[in-house]
Chains A and B, each alone.
Chain A
Amino acid sequence: MSNKAFLLGDRAVYIAFIVIVLGLPLLISDVFWLNRVARYLVFGMLGIAMALSWGYAGILNLGQGLFFGIGAYMVAMSLKLQSWTSLQQGSDTPVPDFMLWNAQPGAPTDLCCIVPGSWLWIPFQAQWFGIFMAIALPVIVALIIGVTIFRLRVSGVYVAIITLALVLLTRLIFIDAQPITNGFNGLTDLGWLTIGGVEFDPLMIETYYIVAVSVCIVLLLTRWLVSTRAGLILQSTRDDANRARYLGYDVASYQIFFFTVSAAIAGFAGLLFVIVSEFATPTYFDIAFSISMVVWAAVGGRSSLIGAAIGAILINTIEATVSESEMFQQAWRLIIGVLFVLIVLYMPRGLAGLARDILTRLVSLGRTKNPDAANASRNPAE
């Protein structure tokens, strides 16, 4: 009975979220703020990816920034080649400005051989290739990592340590390969995404809608994914992998699949972030950024996709607001840290769990004399 009420409540939250996200340009006329919101929506997408792997699969990925960063760099390479800064290097074909600064004297001004490894950039002259790789490369990398660790039955804290190490390793590689990645500075002065002759200026409403619609689609698709039988089986492997094995399931194949989906979402988020922010830097591979994603998901509720998305958007909005004041800016990390500890200790299901408890309380108030209601509505399927 109260399960039905819960489902209705859950559906209402999804509808409200989508209506607000799509309707926001009607309320916010300031394009700079709209651009900011678009960035937070991208972080919301990372929250979804985190909830999928941590909440549903029980895989605590402390290196989600790896997939986000790869996605970002892939599309940034294409957009860099479309930038005016790449077209003024005295060559017929685009060459990124920083390569010229790193080139040996007398090196030919062409992507083929201006600096060692610059040929890797050649296919990125086609924008579709960068967009394709922004999803494909995270998927390939996730498959390799996933097959390796899950076939070996690595689990729990060891997955966290391995993913953490991998994102740091990638950060080193990207900084070290300065001639082709521009090192610490990253890829800046990017061109705009161009589809069918239309240029998507990050400050245009249309660009906001690319992000907003993408986030809604990803949210609904992921929601569908976890409600399938495969999603249920995935949750069972999280609770007791051995039991799932003795029921005949190859646990590793479920973990690999959902780990990869989560990586694809993160890569897609990286792609969108570059479109609205116009840069890609190695800070995407920072530990702090990957840990932030964990905090967003924990605050919003890791076992709720939409909870984690809202958690990410909320925290970033608050952070942007308080960072206007110098004093708060210093204290912000401390506040977030304390909040994280408190939530993990006292509210393990995050804001989503809190909302559900309140709804349950209301329903059982409306239907007194039903002591089972509170218990029966604790349905984990989001």
Chain B
Amino acid sequence: MKAALTIDALEVNFGGFKAVDRMTTVIDDGELRVILGPNGAGKTTLMDLVSGKTASTGGKVHLYGREITNWPEHLIAREGVGRKFQIPSIFRDLTVLQNLEVAVSQEPRVFRNLRLGMAAADRKRIDEVIDLTGLEPVLETIAGDLSHGQMQWLELGMLITQQSRVILLDEPTAGMTQGETSKTADIILRLKGSHTIIVVEHDMAFVRKIAEKVTVMHMGKLLAEGPIKAIEADPAVREAYLGTGGLH
């Protein structure tokens, strides 16, 4: 299978502290990968390094064979990496529909965007995303007035509208009710196959529902990688989670 994202000995040094330390993993095209790890394991920092928010101090990131290490955020995004943040990051003063319209970003340049209306193909894609995320009833609502769950789905919807090839999801179910979590799992499962998805998550019930292959990080390093069943039985993983009560 073709590799979508190759993380090769990536590391970042924050004044002597290596938040991510020679981390290596390969994520295949169309794969759904879950990244686990205790607090401070470097999961979010890894996302920051891949998406360009933080500059790495060593190692390489390849996206479909092209090196994107330390590119500016918007160029990495144009190359096909979409990112969802832990705290919903949406355009709060715009309507839900306008949020999605901004996300159709096939043409990023200022002068080419000095036009009214949008292409039929873009309109169609927005409609598909509205369908997938169930945001239809709130299209004209100001995004800042949405419920927490709806904000999360809107942000997810924006990544899909953006046509990201690789989607990074940082705790997509944080703060969600059980019903909302279950709906989020459904959305993610429907994306499986057409998108490559990397999820950082703590909620094990949710992880068991969506996960195939799991990567466990500990102290910035790769600790274990494999199917969810094997990982849960791994003594090294249990050791890492000791004191936090193990995986549960």
Task: Point out residues on A near B: beta carbons under 8 Å.
Answer: 3, 224-225, 227-230, 232-233, 235-236, 238-240, 242-251, 253-254, 257, 375-376, 378-381
Contacts and interface: CB of A to CB of B under 8 A. Distances in A.
4 cross-chain pairs, A with B, having the tightest CB-CB distances, nearest first = A230-B113, A239-B91, A248-B77, A229-B113
A235 B93 CA distance: 8
Nearest to B79: A248
B120 interface: no
B78 A239 contact: no
B110 A245 contact: no
A139 B132 CA distance: 45
B108 A248 contact: yes
B115 A229 contact: yes
Contacts of B95: 379-380
Q: Main secondary structure on chain A at its contact with chain B?
A: helix
Contact of B141 (A227, A233, A238, A375): A375
Contacts of B205: none
B115 A235 contact: no
Given A248-B74, A249-B108, A379-B140, A239 B93 contact: yes
A322 to B, nearest CB: 35
Interface stretch (B97-105, B207-215, B230-238, B239-247): B97-105
Contacts of A376: 140-141
Interface of B: 51, 53, 72-75, 77-78, 82-83, 85, 89-95, 98-99, 101-103, 105, 107-111, 113-116, 118, 140-142, 145, 158, 162
Contacts of B107: 229
Nearest to B84: A246
Nearest to B101: A232
B128 to A, nearest CB: 17
Given A246-B82, A249-B108, A253-B110, A232 B102 contact: yes
Given A227-B116, A245-B74, A233 B83 contact: no
9 contacts: A232-B102, A233-B113, A246-B77, A247-B102, A247-B105, A251-B74, A375-B145, A376-B140, A378-B142
Given A240-B89, A245-B73, A247-B158, A380 B113 contact: no
A247 B90 contact: no
Contacts of A249: 74, 105, 108
Contacts of B98: 232, 235-236, 381
Contacts of B158: 243, 247
A245 B72 CA distance: 9
Nearest to B139: A376
A211 B89 CA distance: 43
A235 B77 contact: no
Contacts of B83: 246
A381 B75 CA distance: 28
Nearest to B144: A239
A233 B74 contact: no
A246 B51 contact: yes
A245 B89 CA distance: 11
Given A229-B116, A248-B74, A380-B94, 9 more contacts: A225-B114, A228-B115, A229-B107, A229-B118, A230-B110, A232-B98, A235-B93, A239-B94, A250-B74
Contacts of A243: 89-91, 158
A380 B142 CA distance: 8
A228 B117 CA distance: 7
A236 B116 contact: no
A376 B97 CA distance: 12
Contacts of B118: 229
A232 B107 CA distance: 13
